[in-house]
Amino acid sequence: MKERLEALRVEALDKLQGVADAAGLNDLRVHYLGKKGQLTEILRGMGALSAEERPVIGQVANDVRAAIEAVIAEKQEGFDRAATAHRLQAETIDVTLPGKAVGVGAVHPLNKVTQEIEDIFIGMGYSIAEGPEVETDFFNFEALNLPKNHPARDMQDSFYITDEILLRTQTSPVQIRTMKAMNGKTPVKVICPGKVYRRDDDDATHSFMFHQIEGLVIGPNIRMSDLKGTLLQFVQKMYGSQMQIRLRPSFFPFTEPSAEVDVTCAQCGGSGCRMCKHTGWIEILGCGMVHPKVLEYGGYDPKEVTGFAFGMGVERIALLKYGIDDIRHFYANDARFLGQFAKL
């Protein structure tokens, strides 16, 4: 049996030296050292040995096993190093190649225009006032000289939550809240930006949700000429020093007198084109002197102070500024459209 074990050692070591890969190495390990391997087969004859021979043969078998396992371990380590080196070579990253650009967001064009409008009016000494989007009927209508069943309410068909609670249709309620918070003190000089909601069908120029910025000034001897000068300065800051405005008589329940404000058509410079319907002017906002009843609702004496107010849709200002023909582009989340404004 000792001779068979020695012959097994020589045979195994010889074949292990010629093994080419890890799979072949594993096959040889199973062949010689597995449960049904050659070494196990030889050791099954241990029962026929005498008590004196068994320790000697057992020691030889252990030596043979140890020799074979040592070569297998050495070979396996070599195969592992080779596999690691190959993987590192295959997975090498060329750090000199340009990387993939990471997409970076930008300010939405509506937010960009809102911030620009805010900056212009802050530069004129205005502060920013905000209020709730879910409003009471009193602040949204009644305090603005629009009592229940007033026909002008039809122009602001609303999303009602209850009979007395609704989504605000304008940012004018913020003006009333600001006046009440001032407790009759002057001057009041604020702009009120925010979202508003009306039951409009979405089309190229309308949306059920849009953005407004309204302005309010209250103090002694505030005149219509102050309003016109303020709006002219705003328009020229927003669209360029060559732009002019005109005021056309209009009607709003919360101002008296009231006016629509037109700006020189940027497309034709005032000479007339399809964009301005050959008038040379494009309407951008509404304004007027604060109605005496609105002053009273806000806690002011109309015999002591006067004021003016104006309101504009941010979307309309943006449409004209960037030459966009459809308001729905602002809400479609199309990266091709929004990406145009990233570097403006």
DSSP notation for 6-74: HHHHHHHHHHHHT--SHHHHHHHHHHHHSTTSHHHHHHGGGGGS-TTHHHHHHHHHHHHHHHHHHHHHH
- CA 142, distance to chain mean position in Å, is 37
Give CA angle at 138 (289, 250), nearest 5°: 30
Q: Are 19 and 28 in contact (CB under 8 A)?
A: yes
> What is d(CA 85, CA 276) in angstroms, rounded to the nearest whole number?
72
Residues whose CB is less than 8 angstroms from the CB of residue 148 and which lie 6 or more positions away in sequence, other chains included: 137, 141, 142
Place of tokens 């570097």: 343
Give CA angle at 342 (337, 344), nearest 5°: 105
Residues whose CB is less than 8 angstroms from the CB of residue 167 and which lie 6 or more positions away in sequence, other chains included: 133, 134, 135, 158, 159, 161, 196, 197
- Tell me: is residue 53 an annotated ligand-binding position: no
Q: Are 286 and 258 in contact (CB under 8 A)?
A: yes
> What is d(CA 309, CA 217) in angstroms, rounded to the nearest whole number?
6
> What is d(CA 192, CA 312) in angstroms, rounded to the nearest whole number?
10
Handedness of CA 106, 107, 109, 115 (dihedral sign): negative
Instruction: Outline where the chain has alpha helix (H).
Output: 2-17, 22-33, 38-43, 53-90, 109-123, 137-140, 172-182, 224-239, 292-297, 314-322, 335-338
Which residues line the annotated binding site? 256
Which residues line the annotated binding site for Mg(2+)? 256
